[in-house]
Structure 1
Amino acid sequence: MRIALFGYGKMGKMIEEIAKSRNHNIVAKIDLDTTEIDYSQIDVAIDFSTPDAAFGNITNCFKKNIPVISGTTGWLQQYDEAIAVCKENKGAFIYASNFSLGVNIFFELNEYLSKMMQGLEQYTVHMEEIHHTQKLDAPSGTAITLAEGVTKNLDYEGWTMGNEPKKIPITSKREGNVPGTHSVTYHSAVDDIKIKHKAHGREGFALGAIVAAEWIIGRTGIFTMKDVLNIG
């Protein structure tokens, strides 16, 4: 598989390392200073770029019939527009706030637990996410996805980093080199129910992106990691 990396930071370098270990070729490393791209040499694009660059990277690939795996956050106000371009060009796309295989199982577990909590009004839910100090956005995209999973099944109207009624409170912490820890806690006067995912490094995120890229080859449409893992 010939892979183009859009964004060649820490995640891009980790994806490159894992891709090579799985006998794939990195044919392009596109960063802010890249001016020319030979799309004819690309089988699939993996985008971990910047919010400003993501939409252009993704839609240009669609127009060249190149499937895209994207984990860039902060650009989703243009997501619907990107989907329209993908469909117009009969492209293939997977966006995920987190490509870790374990995290995507955690997403499914989170939704399943929220269904079980229906009608148990004595419990309130809150979330916590901890990341390294270089992570600029807060809360994490993963935490937001977890909150959205809960709102599908319980009477909450989104999330908050403050104290707003009817919204799920999210606490964000930035500490050292923590790759990512997420927890969801249901609290009552008599007990707590808690689920937690703790990453040990970036390898899980990078491996998930490669697995998604391997899966999407030859397919057309808009997919999620649920499709890749055949869950949900």
Structure 2
Amino acid sequence: MTTRIEHVLGNLAQQHAPALINQPLQGDARWRAMANGLARQGVLVLMAEVGAASHPNQDPLVNQWIALYGELYYAFAQALFPSFVGVDAVYADNQLPPMVVITGECVPVIRVLAGYAVPYVARRQGTMPTDAEIRGVLVYMLDELEASDLPRVTYENLVQKGMDVLRRLCQQPLRQITLTDFSRPVFGEEPAQPQPPTTIPDQPKKPGDTGRLFSTDIPVFFDRKPRQKTQRKPPLPDLPDRE
């Protein structure tokens, strides 16, 4: 599993941030540094386990999970950086557990998703977090985005929207594995982040699979659409099933 994570992150680093490859860190610290560094370049890598026995068809669940991150990204980008709302997502490869790469035009929003939303959801999944706690996370995210100059009503609507999405992410029927760290402590003294599982074997590659990232047979989660600055973005389409 760790080898697969390093392979995916290493290939992404070659494309987006080559300096990350030459860092002296080893082991888990190395791939965590690469995941955090990629997020600072606007590239967010997500990973999650879906129980194969209870959910033999994982694609709809992955679609729903990623669509929620797209919804949160768009809400923040549209409110704060309306000229940079574009976002795409693809499977990193054809193996399990699924890994998804989200690339956003609005790099600051990708950074706060990686530094707050992703590790928070991994920490609180399967629970019912209090409104006060979720609101605190949203306030941290908006502080990072310097959103205090928004009109009060707009700011409050954005907080409520974010709280709703985070709550739904925590209730998704999968186990999210965070590859990125909190940007700052959210729960006081932070323990080490949960490690990726070592007992689940990688899914064998399909015949003809070269292992390249973003090959043409890997479906795109978000369709590119003409930017509409004066209208609300239509709902995200469902993902096509993986072959």
Structure-2-length-normalised TM-score = 0.29
Quick one: higher RCO (CA 8 Å, sep 6+), 1 or 2?
2
Structure-1-length-normalised TM-score = 0.30
Quick check: which has more Rg, 1 or 2?
1
